[in-house]
Amino acid sequence: MADFESINLDFLHARAALKWGPWDRDVISLSVADIDFPAPREIKEAVINAVNEDRTPYSAYGGDPDVLDAVCEKLNRVNRIPATPDDVHMIPGTMFAIFLVCYHFLNQGDEALISPAPVYPPFIHNVLNTGAVPVFNPLDFQHGARLDVDDLKARITPRTRMLMVCNPHNPTGRVLTLEELECIARLADEHNLLIFADELYEDMLFEGEHISLASLSKEIYERTITVFGFSKAFGIPGYRIAYITTRSRYKKELKHRIHDMIVHADTLAQAAAKAALTDGKAWLGEFMSHLKRVRDYGLDRLSRTPGVWCREPEATPFLFPNIASFGMTSEEMCEYLREEAGVIVMNGAEFGPPGEGFIRINFATAHSVLKEAMDRMEAAFKRLA
């Protein structure tokens, strides 16, 4: 059994440079979307084996054949996407796909329609970096954070080039329903839009079912570039490994672009990816039981805190409470919690304007750490009330 009840703070301060590195020892970081636990033994052993097998030469562009086979088996069985190795490309991290689609498809003045919004900030940054405009389709927080289809329709213009969908959704933890996905697919068909689907959090599901957009129909697979990764559910973001799948007519040129940039993804990281797919299930089951326990605990604590409102996330390691009633911006609240409670959370407004009034809490840690952070935040909120 893996141990999810304690964390090694010395290790995290030394190695988790983004999440824990910047902060003093008495500060608790619930910010960057790292999990605080070591990777599964099966993944570590696969990397060690790959080192011992001298997997040092240049390998195939799209990915090592055995890795692509494992990816395709999973895509067909789990995601119901009829992928063959030719439809897949291993890449150095999910983020690379966000960069790639923006860099390749967007031009100055184009619009990228982000649905749902708010969204993982690099979606916004990469759109802006190309000179294009991010257009936000905010979730309807008044009605269970459901997709606002009328708003989505209204935001499509002749300049809309791409629909960018993050599902399961960072930061709210929503999992889009079949009905919602079909609306997105129908609009993309009607307006001949390319779809970029980031499904990185597919394995971090507490309730419901994750449905891949590209599984809806042959036509949708042909207009969709989907990215899946290993950074979150298997806790290996440092290995920088993910994969895209598409049957779009842009497949060949996208592959050439990747070859021109990186040749191929790291062979050791690919071995880790294969182990996650083939041997990671037992560990993942244990991890998700722990994560559900801490989600329920965190949600219960927030729901008892006057002035805070938080919906239950069906997936992801995130709680996304609304704190607008305290009369502070999200940024001010983050600063306040850092100074007054010694707890680091993320500013909802960094996820785009629809995230203003919210903060994001990453609960993928030990129960004792989350409890201490919740105690401190609750006391800080009470002082404001």
Name the site residues for ligand PLP (rule: CB under 6 A): 33, 93-95, 120, 166, 170, 198, 200, 229, 231, 237, 242
- Nearest approach in angstroms of CB 307 to ligand PLP is 27
User: In the chain, which residue ranges form alpha helices assigned H by DSSP?
Assistant: 9-15, 41-52, 65-74, 94-105, 121-129, 149-154, 178-190, 218-223, 251-262, 267-279, 281-303, 330-336, 367-384
Q: Which residues of 218-231 are buried (b: 16+ CB within 10 A; e: fewer)?
A: eebbebbbbbbbbb
Cis peptide before 116 (omega within 30 of 0): yes
- Mutual angle of helices 251-262 and 94-105, in 10-degree steps: 120
Among residues 130 and 170, whose Cβ is nearest to ligand PLP?
170
- Nearest approach in angstroms of CB 117 to ligand PLP is 13
- Nearest approach in angstroms of CB 326 to ligand PLP is 26
Whose tokens are 């500060």? That residue is 27
- Nearest approach in angstroms of CB 120 to ligand PLP is 4
- Nearest approach in angstroms of CB 365 to ligand PLP is 15
Among residues 242 and 380, whose Cβ is nearest to ligand PLP?
242
Among residues 111 and 198, whose Cβ is nearest to ligand PLP?
198
Determine the Cα–Cα distance for residues 305 and 165; give it in Å rounded to an integer: 32
Among residues 120 and 136, whose Cβ is nearest to ligand PLP?
120
State the chain's maximal CA–CA distance in angstroms: 61
Among residues 277 and 341, whose Cβ is nearest to ligand PLP?
277
- Six token digits for residue 350: 């960094």
